[in-house]
Amino acid sequence: MDSLINTKEDVALLQHAGVIHNKQSSHQEAAIFFNQLGDCMSFDTINPHFADVFRDVQLYYDSSWNRSLAHLVHDYFHSPWAIISVIAGVILLGLTALQAFFTVYRYYHP
């Protein structure tokens, strides 16, 4: 959890997603708790149990497709009105392309 939680925003995000239940007085105290939790632990380097999970998370994070999709969702789908306007823009662009195609098609095949 220490590698997953660094700031109070991380605690707020995980609490909102239902991953953790914060019983501390603030998100900052919970972040400090999780950051200090791993100080007295040692990792088993011979048989790491979560190595596959860390590798999968890193591969997912490094994927440019996933980053682009995250930026698209963050920038253009942050509210219902933004979603509606993006959909309307895509539909209008498609109709414009269709109109241009039929205009050119009709010119060459009367």
The Cα–Cα gap between 14 and 2 comes to: 13
CB under 8 Å to 18, separation ≥6 — which residues?
Answer: none
Contact by Cβ (8 Å): 30, 50: no
pLDDT per residue over 94-108, tens digit each?
Answer: 999 999 999 999 988
Does pLDDT of 74 surpass 70? yes
User: What pTM value is reported for the model?
Assistant: 0.44
User: Using an 8 Å Cβ cutoff, are 27 and 8 in contact?
Assistant: yes
Among 85, 96, 19, 75, residue whose Cα is nearest residue 5:
19
